[in-house]
A and B are shown apart, each in its own frame.
Chain A
Amino acid sequence: QKEVEQNSGPLSVPEGAIASLNCTYSDRGSQSFFWYRQYSGKSPELIMFIYSNGDKEDGRFTAQLNKASQYVSLLIRDSQPSDSATYLCATRAGVSGGYNKLIFGAGTRLAVHP
């Protein structure tokens, strides 16, 4: 069973700080990695994806991928109370999964307090 693991949290950070969310995955064949944000009672919304080792930045968000260690992380700089949500990590299944399915972690709840 291919797995994606996340700490459920809550991760509590003060406003303006950097929030660091981490995710590990078991399938070495995973090729694409995604971060979704989900507000309470809403559906997940894609905020970042990354395919290559290293960092990818988009505004206040940075995704980091290390395939050798099988982890992917999301950094949120200058955290705002509006960033308070559950963040889901997902990987695209490799050859065995037919490339079409995403495997989701259970999510990390982030709470940004003023």
Chain B
Amino acid sequence: DVKVTQSSRYLVKRTGEKVFLECVQDMDHENMFWYRQDPGLGLRLIYFSYDVKMKEKGDIPEGYSVSREKKERFSLILESASTNQTSMYLCASSSSPTSYGYTFGSGTRLTVV
């Protein structure tokens, strides 16, 4: 019954590495989102996509890029990982318009050392 799948639950990477976080949904949703969540800061939107090959910056896009080549897959890329990108990363998807809320993936806890 898993509907939004994030490829890794835990990930440890070195500073300067290029990091790919993958998210796949099987609900045929138009919208997909990447958030990071840090203690005391809540959910912060990094990027979102409302269609294939379309993307929009969220509140904190610096240091990140995204790719959406297929409707079901939305990738988050850390071009050169830094220690301040250590965080919980959450992918979500929704129909358009977002009438019924988001469905979240299980999250990826990324540690950059």
Contact = CB atoms under 8 A, between A and B. Distances in A.
A82 interface: no
Interface of B: 31, 33, 40-43, 45, 48, 50, 90, 94, 96-107
Interface of A: 32, 34, 36, 42-46, 49, 88, 90, 92, 98-102, 104-107
Given A42-B106, A43-B90, A100 B50 contact: yes
A49 B107 contact: no
Given A88-B43, A105-B42, A100 B97 contact: yes
B42 A92 contact: no
A45 B101 CA distance: 10
- Among A45, A49, A100: residue with most chain B CB under 10 A: A100
A16 B93 CA distance: 35
Contacts of A105: 42
Contacts of A107: 42
B4 to A, nearest CB: 9
Contacts of A99: 96-98
